Amino acid sequence: MAADEPPERQLRVLPWWLVPVGLLLAAALGWLVLDLLLTEADRASQPDTRATLRIDAIRTGLTVIAGTGGGLALLLAARRQWIAERSQRHQEAVAARDQAHRDRVQAHAESVADAAQRQQDRQSGAAEHDAAERRLTELYTRAVELLGHDSAAVRLGGLHALERLGQDNPEQRPTIVAVLCAYLRMPAPDDEPREIEVRRTAQRVLTRHLRADDAAYWPEVTLDLTGARLVDFDAAGCTLVDADFTGAVFSGATSFVGATARGRLGLGAAVFDDVRFDDLTADAEVVLDDVRFGGQASFDRAGFLGGLSCRRSSFAGPTSFGRTTFDQPISFDGTRFVDGASFRESNFQGGLSMEHTEFGGLAEFRSARFAAMALFRWTVFGAEALFQQARFTDSANFGRARFHSVASFEGAQFSRRPLVDQARAAAGGGHVWPADTTVERLDDEWLLLVDR
């Protein structure tokens, strides 16, 4: 029974003696009425009237007896009907309680069965997971063993096994990338053709899964190739997340064309032959400190949104930063451009520092835009220095710079007078200096620029 259901009153059985007592009472009542009526009838003065009254008294007494008996019969019938209705309600209440009990039992049984099924499913899932993990571990261990084999062909098989494992198991990709990077960081026999091919394959496996427009793209994996030896490394179109190439040696032709660098891109102390960074987009700092560029280096149309540090680096071949955008302050302090370097139409939104920088060949800044301070103090221009149509929105400082050949500022615009104190230029014709620049002859070989 529910807690809020009122308890039923106990049904009392009608004693058998109440029926004859009721009949006796009915008869007594009828006799009393009959006796009263007969007594009144006997008081009548006329014999005919007495007879009639006695007959009416008898009829009335019998009617009272019959009526009382009928009333008792109706009462008994009503009680019987009430008992029947109460019994029906009781049966319905019992049936409802039984049904509720059966429902609770059924729900409990279903709950127990469901819990048992869930437990079985968990055990089955755990068993499947353990089996899958064991198989994954076996495959991984086997692939790594193949990668360490003496035979180059077997090592190639190990690389492809690791790649397939990572393609089928996304959660293993960071580990697999770390293994491939570790392999490339390991010392390799010099100029061993088969090992070079293995390393080329490892590089292709890495870069193949770093292109966001490829169906085989592995997102959010990072490269740690510190000190690695890379041959013809091709990261064109790749998305590099916090990639670190510090101290890496890039031999052959290296390409980062159209790559996207998310997070810091570390290339400090790296060594390059020919390299292209055209259309590179970097949202954080790019570090090129102490880098050695042995051949051509191109950064055309690159976007350095988070800053560039290229201090104490050396560019041995032709270098181009044409139409490159620098949103943050950048530094080329102490850098040496052995051959020509072009910054034509580049946009320097942050400050530029080229102090103690040396240009062995042409230094071209035609149509460049300098939105913040530009420092060329102690800069050495070994060949022509061309700043034609350049625009300096902030201050420019060429103090103690040296111009060994023609310097041209034709059409250049300055928001304020540039500082040229103690700058020197080779004697001879062809120089075009900013307006109001004071030039004095120092000796037969040098001219001296002074601020007035």
Q: What is the CATH number of domain 219-450?
A: 2.160.20
- As a whole number of angstroms, the distance between CA 285 and CA 266 comes to 8
Which residue in 299, 306, 353, 346 sits closest to 328, CA to CA?
Answer: 306
Q: Is the pLDDT of residue 257 over 80?
A: yes
Most confident of 69-73, 78-82, 357-361: 357-361
pLDDT at residue 3 tops 50:
no
The set of residues, in sequence order, having a beta carbon less than 8 Å from that of 413 and lying 6+ positions away, is 390, 391, 392
Mean pLDDT of the chain: 88
Q: Scan for tokens 């409802």, then name that residue.
A: 96
Confidence of residue 4 (pLDDT cuts 50, 70, 90): very low
Backbone phi and psi for residue 149, each to the nearest 5 degrees, phi listed first: -75, 155
Which whole number is the average pLDDT over 110-122?
87
3-state helix, strand, coil in the chain (%, to 5): 40, 20, 40
pLDDT tens for each residue of 317-372 = 999 999 999 999 999 999 999 999 999 999 999 999 999 999 999 999 999 999 99
- Please tell me the pTM assigned to this model: 0.73
Q: What is the rounded distance in angstroms from the CA atom of residue 365 to the CA atom of residue 402?
A: 16
Position with higher pLDDT, 9 vs 355: 355
Q: Which residue has the higher pLDDT, 257 or 118?
A: 257
- Cα 360 to Cα 258, 294, 367, 405: the distances in Å are 29, 14, 21, 11
CA pair distance 130, 33, nearest whole angstrom = 102
In this predicted model, what pLDDT tens digit does every residue of 133-175 receive, in sequence order? 677 678 778 878 888 888 999 999 999 999 998 898 899 899 9
